[in-house]
Amino acid sequence: MDVRDVALVHRDQARRFVVINKPAGLLVHVAPHMKEQSTQPTLADWVKKHFPSATTVGDDPAYRPGIVHRLDKDTSGVMVIALTQDYFEYLKKLFADHAITKTYLAIVRGKVPGAGGIINKPIGITSGTTKRSTRSSKMAKEAVTEYEIIEQFERHHQWFSLLRVRPQTGRTHQIRVHLASRGWPVVGDPLYGGKQNYRLASRLMLHARTIAFDVVPGKRMEFTADPPPPFVDFYQKTE
């Protein structure tokens, strides 16, 4: 994925932050143990090029300039990036206080029953792997995910559900793990859905649609990133 596919959603007039739409397939930043080895392009590279002031912002600005939160490499969607250290600390506190609201769109395999619900299951690490699981107690942390059904459709003689998902906590792979634990893996997810699920789509069908927060105390704004064509095509071109 080319960093040129990053789209600017909002530029704060006071130059405190920007909001971007990250494409699927683009890594946000390299892992700590890969800092000296990785040559793949990252969102961090894009930030450094387009917003040089951010190169001194953050907890580890050399590798995560202005980056307060992240999306999985294969997840697309909206992210906020701080351009000053003061605003980085402000956003960091908002995340810590659960004062930032995010919504995702997810296409999952299966016909999800009812109108929606809440999955409240701790997520731990599966020993010997990078996978997370609701069945593992290793380093398990509270995780809560709210979901609602937008639409259901049939394609290639299989049922799928388009969901609006609101994670109330921010665990690694949380949405993917929680939905798969109910038997509704995100389409295109090889880690939690198996090979058959992975081959159903050209990408992971998970998109961060909105992010909302007080840009200054008392002034709340919501920013939206539209899902890309491969995501939209999957549920619009039903057969």
**Quick one: 87 and 152 in the same domain?**
no
Split at pLDDT 50, 70, 90, the class of 100 is very high
- Which of 52, 81, 97 is where one domain is finished? 97
Is the confidence at residue 112, as pLDDT, over 80? Answer: yes
65 contacts 58 by C-beta, under 8 angstroms:
yes
Annotated catalytic residue, options 72, 97, 189, 233: 72
Is the confidence at residue 65, as pLDDT, over 80? Answer: yes
pTM of the model as a whole: 0.92
**Quick one: 133 and 203 in the same domain?**
yes
**Quick one: 121 and 51 in the same domain?**
no
User: What range does the domain containing 25 cover?
Assistant: 1-97
**Cα 49 from Cα 18, distance rounded (Å):** 14
225 contacts 213 by C-beta, under 8 angstroms:
no
Split at pLDDT 50, 70, 90, the class of 239 is low
**Quick one: 168 and 116 in the same domain?**
yes
192 contacts 123 by C-beta, under 8 angstroms:
no
Q: Is 214 among the residues known to form the active site?
A: no
CATH number for the domain spanning 57: value is: 3.30.2350.10
91 in any annotated domain: yes
| SS3 of residue 61 by DSSP | coil
**Cα 43 from Cα 23, distance rounded (Å):** 9
**Quick one: 128 and 85 in the same domain?**
no
**Quick one: 93 and 192 in the same domain?**
no
**Cα 8 from Cα 233, distance rounded (Å):** 23
177 CB neighbour count, 10 Å cutoff: 27
**Quick one: 80 and 175 in the same domain?**
no
Total domains in the chain come to 2
